[in-house]
Amino acid sequence: MYVRGRFKKIGYIRLVGHLDTMKIIIRAFNRAGLPITYSEGFNKSPKLALSQSLPLGVQSLEEFVDFEINEKIDLEKAIDKINSELPNGIRFYYLCYSEKKRKTCKFN
Q: Which domains does the chain have, with CATH numbers?
A: 2-98 (3.30.70.580)
pLDDT at 41: 86
Within 13 Å of residue 101, how many CA atoms lie on the same side as its CB? 8
pLDDT at 101: 60
pLDDT at 1: 87
Which pTM was predicted?
0.86
pLDDT at 16: 94
pLDDT at 106: 57
Compute mean pLDDT per 10 residues along the chain, 108 residues long, and list them.
93 94 95 93 90 92 93 94 96 88 56
The SS3 call for residue 90 is strand
| Alpha-carbon separation of residue 57 from 17, 45, 82 (angstroms) | 9, 27, 23
